């Protein structure tokens, strides 16, 4: 029988891409498939945790036995996560959250009346950074999808967002990143590289991340 390393732990996972609407029929999103986050939610459940999965756009099947919350925009995700943060032990932020949203959402479909269209974007709140400021004992895991200088950017995010671990992948490498069933990750903590994994299925990556989290619970610093 599998060891239940996360028995009794409340785990919140975010996954998928956010959708930022321009008008009632058009929106901006990104290439996130949700596969990594869904694999984490499914594995956390198998490891005994109570799991909430806050999901943006994806085509993945909802894992059995998890509480499922669908959201559309980054602001929706912000509210869904913040309202549950108090009762959570571990937050794993695998979602690809839009950095910006259109300043205004047109109430009616935009018409092609002009040769050019300008849309002004405003910055979305950083959900993970907000959690990092509010945390009191919660264990925070962030993701960093990069195309260059992976370690430097991952460590920068870890410090800025006050996370306990950052899971970094080079999304330009074959077999890593968006849409694939495999991933190649390095996991960083405040001291630097904590775990380097070879190419493996996202399910196996999820198990390794969660096993590392379980081994570190209780030793993380509150804010
Ligand atoms: O977008 P960025 O590379 O900074 O994302 C790093 C981490 O921060 C990811 O875990 C992502 O889910 C999280 N994030 C967030 N809210 C945002 C942007 C990113 O929680 N607005």
Q: Residue 2 — very low, low, confident or very high, per pLDDT cuts 50/70/90?
A: low
Q: Residue 172 — very low, low, confident or very high, per pLDDT cuts 50/70/90?
A: confident
pLDDT per position as a tens digit, 80-122:
999 999 999 999 999 999 999 999 999 999 999 999 999 999 9
Inside any domain, residue 193: yes
Q: Residue 129 — very low, low, confident or very high, per pLDDT cuts 50/70/90?
A: very high
Ligand 1 centroid to residue 108 C-alpha, Å:
30
Q: Is 93 annotated as a binding residue?
A: no
Catalytic-residue membership of 113: no
| 68-72 contacts at long range (C-beta below 8 A, 24 or more positions apart) | 71/18, 72/18, 72/19, 72/21
Counting residues of the chain whose pLDDT is more than 70, the rounded percentage is 96
Domain coverage including residue 197: 10-109+118-216
Inside any domain, residue 4: no
Q: Residue 1 — very low, low, confident or very high, per pLDDT cuts 50/70/90?
A: low
Ordered alpha helix ranges (H), 122-222: 127-134, 150-160, 202-216
Q: Is 99 annotated as a binding residue?
A: yes
Give the other-Cβ count within 10 Å of 37's Cβ.
28
pLDDT beyond 50 at 223: no
Q: Is 125 annotated as a binding residue?
A: yes
Inside any domain, residue 223: no
CB of 93 within 6 A of ligand 1: the answer is: yes
Using CA atoms, how far apart are residues 223 and 2, in angstroms rounded to an integer?
33
Inside any domain, residue 1: no
Number of structural domains in the chain: 1
Contact 55, 49 (CB under 8 A): no
CB of 126 within 6 A of ligand 1: the answer is: yes
- Domain holding 129: CATH number? 3.40.50.10300
Ligand 1 centroid to residue 144 C-alpha, Å:
8
Q: E strands within 43-189?
A: 50-55, 67-70, 90-93, 100-102, 121-123, 139-146, 165-170, 182-183, 185-189
CB of 166 within 6 A of ligand 1: the answer is: no
- Kindly state the greatest CA–CA separation across the chain: 65
pLDDT beyond 70 at 196: yes
Ligand 1 centroid to residue 141 C-alpha, Å:
10
The predicted complex's ipTM stands at: 0.97
Q: Is 204 annotated as a binding residue?
A: no
Ligand 1 centroid to residue 125 C-alpha, Å:
10
CB of 131 within 6 A of ligand 1: the answer is: no
Backbone angles phi, psi at 27, to 5 degrees: -155, 165
Q: Residue 170 — very low, low, confident or very high, per pLDDT cuts 50/70/90?
A: confident
Q: Record the pTM.
A: 0.94
Q: How far, rounded to the nearest angstrom, does the alpha carbon of residue 167 sit from its chain's CA centroid?
A: 10
pLDDT beyond 90 at 55: yes
> What residues contact 165, with CB distance under 8 A and at least 6 apart?
140, 141, 142, 158, 187, 188, 189, 194, 209, 212, 213, 216
Q: Residue 176 — very low, low, confident or very high, per pLDDT cuts 50/70/90?
A: confident
Inside any domain, residue 27: yes
CB of 127 within 6 A of ligand 1: the answer is: yes
């Amino acid at each position: 029988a599998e060891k239940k390393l996360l028995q009794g732990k409340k785990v919140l996972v975010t996954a998928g891409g956010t959708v930022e609407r321009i008008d009632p029929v058009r929106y901006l999103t990104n290439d996130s498939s949700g596969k990594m986050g869904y694999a984490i939610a499914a594995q956390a459940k198998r490891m005994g945790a109570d799991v909430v999965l806050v999901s943006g756009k994806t085509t993945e099947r909802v894992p059995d036995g998890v509480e499922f919350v669908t959201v559309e925009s980054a602001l929706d995700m912000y509210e869904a996560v913040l309202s549950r943060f108090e009762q959570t032990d571990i937050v794993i932020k695998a979602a690809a959250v839009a950095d910006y949203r259109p300043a205004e959402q047109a109430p009616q479909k935009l018409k092609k009346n002009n040769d050019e269209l300008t849309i002004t974007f405003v910055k979305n709140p950083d959900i993970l950074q907000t959690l990092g400021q509010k945390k009191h004992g919660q264990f925070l895991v962030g993701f960093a999808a990069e195309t260059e200088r992976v370690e430097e950017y991952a460590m920068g995010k870890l410090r800025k967002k006050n996370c306990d671990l950052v899971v970094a992948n080079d999304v330009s490498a074959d077999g890593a990143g968006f849409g694939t069933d495999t991933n190649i990750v390095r996991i960083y903590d405040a001291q630097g590289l904590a775990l380097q994994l070879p190419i493996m299925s996202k399910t196996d990556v999820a198990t390794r991340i969660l096993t590392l989290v379980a081994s570190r619970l209780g030793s993380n610093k509150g804010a």
